[in-house]
Structure 1
């Protein structure tokens, strides 16, 4: 059977069973378009390739949780979009690049993509609200880890905690976020 003739949903069912050939088929089906989109946004070939590869790695590792009813592309392109936006915000925060006056001024935006960015912003607001409601120590550790991007060791030294306590707090914070944002949990790695 030629797997290239199968639709995404049929291939994904095989992927869920661990079929690497079906996964490779999907990878080849979407690689060029995803790379092109990432490169247009990032203007760096190596970074664009890394982003696309990381999304496929994440898809493989989380294949049991991902549902494909028709096409895999909504998952892939949403994950790519969130990754790029997160990257742009991080670079702007570090002062290595200017954030566009509006995230909507990124090139090639359509009305649908503007709506997607609006939904992304709403999800970010929900995440921020959940972070605010965390217990004080958990919130402090999580912010140092994800917003300040400090290592476990740096956080442990700064807060006079053991490294294992820091790891536990970060793990518990992520578990809490995934539980409370269950419908969007599959996208959290690309947002946080």
Structure 2
């Protein structure tokens, strides 16, 4: 059986709980499953790629070292993404030790979003409209942009986004809603806006 098939055999929570019991193979599968996503998200929060990779690796090291203490009932992807965000926030705190303290809510999201042109038909006007949509999305406030990324690219629920951004549910919901309202004013294409966001490249 190919490695990719093995990795897709077990759901996250099964692998997580096996890992909590000391199963190194389950830990390895989770690492391979989410490493790239975590690095990509980390790169959206810090321009230092080497430090981001260190942060992601440190998150996995902590998960393994404290496996007996981590909660069993978690959404694994959300937990790992949140852990990376918190570790990068601490990185900012350390690097700005002689400046004003940097909290988790001060970490700014700066990843560029681009809708795949292959999803769009050959109509020139439609393609130009999509380029305009990309510009609108990339000019959204950083928090709105990050909320959309977490909601539609990473598939997180609003509750999980709220926890990650250290805000209440209503505030997280408002971030997503306001961003979508801004984009929907400009997008009247055949493909739904949600489809485009979920298929976008970050």
Q: CA deviation at 1:77?
A: 1.4
Matches within 5 A, 1:1-192: 2-69=6-73, 71-94=75-98, 103=106, 105-107=108-110, 108-110=142-144, 111=147, 116-119=164-167
Q: CA deviation at 1:27?
A: 0.4
Unmatched 5+ residue regions in structure 1? 121-192
> Does the 8 Å CA contact 1:55/1:79 hold for their aligned counterparts?
yes
> Does the 8 Å CA contact 2:21/2:67 hold for their aligned counterparts?
no
Q: How far apart, in 2, do the equivalents of 1:23 and 1:119 lie?
A: 30
| Runs of 4+ that moved beyond 6 A | 97-100
Q: How far apart, in 1, do the equivalents of 2:50 and 2:108 lie?
A: 23
Q: CA deviation at 1:6?
A: 0.5
Q: How far apart, in 2, do the equivalents of 1:22 and 1:63 lie?
A: 12
> Does the 8 Å CA contact 2:35/2:56 hold for their aligned counterparts?
yes
Q: Secondary structure at the match of 1:76?
A: helix
Q: Secondary structure at the match of 2:96?
A: helix
Higher helix share: 1
Q: How far apart, in 1, do the equivalents of 2:108 and 2:69 lie?
A: 33
Over 3 Å counting, the alpha-carbon distance change for 1:99 and 1:25 in structure 2 is: same
TM-score, with structure 1 as normaliser: 0.51
> Does the 8 Å CA contact 2:45/2:88 hold for their aligned counterparts?
yes
> Does the 8 Å CA contact 2:89/2:102 hold for their aligned counterparts?
no
Structural RMSD (CA): 3.1
Give aligned pairs, total: 118
> Does the 8 Å CA contact 1:104/1:117 hold for their aligned counterparts?
no
Q: CA deviation at 1:42?
A: 1.4
